């Protein structure tokens, strides 16, 4: 997944966000897994001997990546997926397979913007749809 990392570098250079080596490493692990990743899976994959990779640091790196629009949190699975389009700036629409936990992201319109309360500033939105993916047998 070199593209996701290159996109992330470009996106961060543009926005002035600082993609530290640990943040980059966390993003790389999420992107490479090809499936939603749990925080503890990330922790076990990151070199624990490194003092910069203590759990709180890894959670902060995830928070940064979510805030920067590079990673989305899949609430239903309490897991993380890399965004295929860094910082797309509108809602992420995720289709979550309840059978195999495969998650597909499609670029949505701007749901949530239309009916928002007056004066409310939307920073990020994630819409999750649940069902069965094309590879899973239908009941």
User: What residues line the site for Zn ion (CB under 5 A)?
Assistant: 83, 92, 97, 99-100, 102, 133, 136
Question: Which of 57, 104 has the CB closer to Zn ion?
Answer: 104
Shortest separation between residue 14's beta carbon and Zn ion, angstroms: 16
Shortest separation between residue 27's beta carbon and Zn ion, angstroms: 13
3-state secondary structure string across the chain? CHHHHHHHHHHHHHHCCCCCHHHHHHHHHHHHHCCCECHHHHHHHCCCCCHHHCHHHHHHHHHHHHHCCCEEEECCCCEEEECCCCCCCCCEEEEEECCCCCEEEEECCCCCCCCCCCCCCCCCCEEEEEECCCCCCCC
Question: Which of 23, 53 has the CB closer to Zn ion?
Answer: 23
Shortest separation between residue 126's beta carbon and Zn ion, angstroms: 8
């Amino acid at each position: 997944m070199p593209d996701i990392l290159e996109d992330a570098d470009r996106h961060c250079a543009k926005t002035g966000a600082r993609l530290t080596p640990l943040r980059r490493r966390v993003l790389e692990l999420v992107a490479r897994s090809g499936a939603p990743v749990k925080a503890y899976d990330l922790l076990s994959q990151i070199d624990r001997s490194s003092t910069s990779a203590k759990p709180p640091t890894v959670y902060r790196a995830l928070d940064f990546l979510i805030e920067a629009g590079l990673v989305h949190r899949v609430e239903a699975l309490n897991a993380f997926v890399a965004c295929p389009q860094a910082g797309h700036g509108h809602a992420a629409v995720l289709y979550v397979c309840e059978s195999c936990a495969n998650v597909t992201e499609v670029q949505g319109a701007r749901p949530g913007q239309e009916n928002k309360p007056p004066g409310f500033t939307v920073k990020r939105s994630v819409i999750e749809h649940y069902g069965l993916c094309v590879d899973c047998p239908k009941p």
